[in-house]
Amino acid sequence: MKVLVIGGGGREHAIVWKLAQSKRVDKIYCCPGNAGIAELAECLDIKPTDFDALLNLVRYEWIDLTIVGPEDPLAAGIADVFRKDGRKIFGPGAMGARLESGRAFSKDFMRRYGIPTAEYRVFSSYIHAEDYVRLKGAPIVVKADGLAAGKGVYVAKTVDEACEALRLIMKERVFGEAGDRVVVEECVQGEEASFMAFTDGTTIIPMVSSQDHKRVFDGDLGPNTGGMGAYSPAPVLPEEMERTVMEKVMRPFLRGVQAERMDFRGVIYAGLMIKDKKPMVLEFNCRFGDPETQAVLARLDSDFFEIALAVSEGKLAQASVAWKPEASVCVVAASGGYPGSYGKGKVIKGLNAVKRMKDVVVFHAGTGFDGESTVTAGGRVLGVTATGADVPAAKARAYEAIAKISFEGMHYRKDIADRAIGRSAC
């Protein structure tokens, strides 16, 4: 079988790595891929939103299954285009993807199906939004309605901060038309966790729990990033809580998908806030999380290709989804300056030394090849991922590995998974 993976980050490297372990996969293509993915797949420089070129590739190379990593092509309807052409694709259609690409749509969906979420209002007028913020007071959360490359969410500690967020989104239009509307919502406290599940629109099967680290510096300080590391399992989501999330969030989500006739075949990822053993949905994403996927797929015991194919065919109920008991930890190595501006083309040293380590895999994110060496090509560069008997063991191994890697300006958090270790050790 031939598989195309769309995307070029650490998440896609983890997907390709897992696919490459399947006996049923003969060849993997990736668009655009990165230097690490190129060791396992044929990488082609086609943009994830160039549907014509991607579809032509699938037609002429006789590709059996396409798996979509990032949200942009899903929001733009790649799954609808491919299915109309009779192609198998892992990812929801544009209507399902709106649960991520339209925050107001998503919140209204949650309300319609009784999914617990923070109280909110939607505004298309700056004045009305500001009046509401002043009425409600702070802390308060201001979100741009549309996709904003992982940005667009402001957790305002003061009314002035909230008004500044409104000004940036609605007046300065820093996120373009994604800021035509804003969602202003109550700031809920608790502990965040990521809950991802496979679904084909009829069956829903949870993945193991995980938690990412969004802030750039240790102690959850500094600006938000795409994610500086992740670990699995997350102690805030023990089995009993998983059952609660399935009952209160995932099954109502599936009822909504069916009632609204969404073609949802892929991953539903709920960003949760858990307080007093009660989950609340902060946001839905319609794709695998990054870097959660690196930690989660490291624990998948089953054949990922079989699962993805079953999802795309609406036969998930027939697939086997089993997990390894080990824990995993992924530590992201980022470019100097990230999440602000950063340079590229820095030579990465130490990758071969880590390749020889057992229970460790380095997922490439922003990397390229300059003809001689593997070099940096993005903000998040590598996701050094290790498994171990429990979270402390996986963490120790991941940090042992990352210590062997270096590039100019490299930085990484030293406290990935400490939250888990502080609470209970897996």
Residues that bind ligand GLY (CB under 6 A): 212, 227, 285, 289-290, 292
Greatest C-alpha distance within the chain:
60
Q: What minimum distance in Å lies between the beta carbon of 418 and ligand GLY?
A: 18
Smaller CB separation from ligand GLY, 226 or 256: 226
Smaller CB separation from ligand GLY, 199 or 211: 211
Q: How many CB atoms lie within 10 A of CB 176?
A: 11
Q: What minimum distance in Å lies between the beta carbon of 52 and ligand GLY?
A: 27
- Residue nearest ligand GLY, Cβ-based: 289
One-character DSSP codes across 119-160: -EEEES-HHHHHHHHHHH-SSEEEEESS--TT--EEEESSHH
Q: What minimum distance in Å lies between the beta carbon of 14 and ligand GLY?
A: 12
Q: Is 177 buried (19+), middle (13-18) or exposed (0-12) by CB count in 10 A?
A: exposed
Q: How far apart are CA 74 and CA 237, in angstroms?
A: 28
Helix, strand, or coil (residue 42): strand
Q: What minimum distance in Å lies between the beta carbon of 349 and ligand GLY?
A: 27
Smaller CB separation from ligand GLY, 117 or 374: 117
Strand intervals (E) in 200-240: 204-206, 211-212, 215-217, 221-224, 229-232
Q: What minimum distance in Å lies between the beta carbon of 289 and ligand GLY?
A: 4
Smaller CB separation from ligand GLY, 249 or 309: 249
Residues near 337 by beta carbon (within 8 Å), at least 6 away in sequence: 343, 409
Q: What minimum distance in Å lies between the beta carbon of 153 and ligand GLY?
A: 11
Amino acid, single-letter form, for residue 407: F
Nearest of 412, 384, 409, 382 to residue 398 by alpha carbon: 384
207: left (phi over 0), alpha (psi -120 to 50) or beta: beta
Q: How far apart are CA 382 and CA 369, in angstroms?
A: 14
Please list, residue by residue across 299-313, b when 16 or more beta carbons sit within 10 angstroms of its beta carbon and e when fewer do.
bbeebbbbbbbbbbe
Q: What minimum distance in Å lies between the beta carbon of 385 and ligand GLY?
A: 14
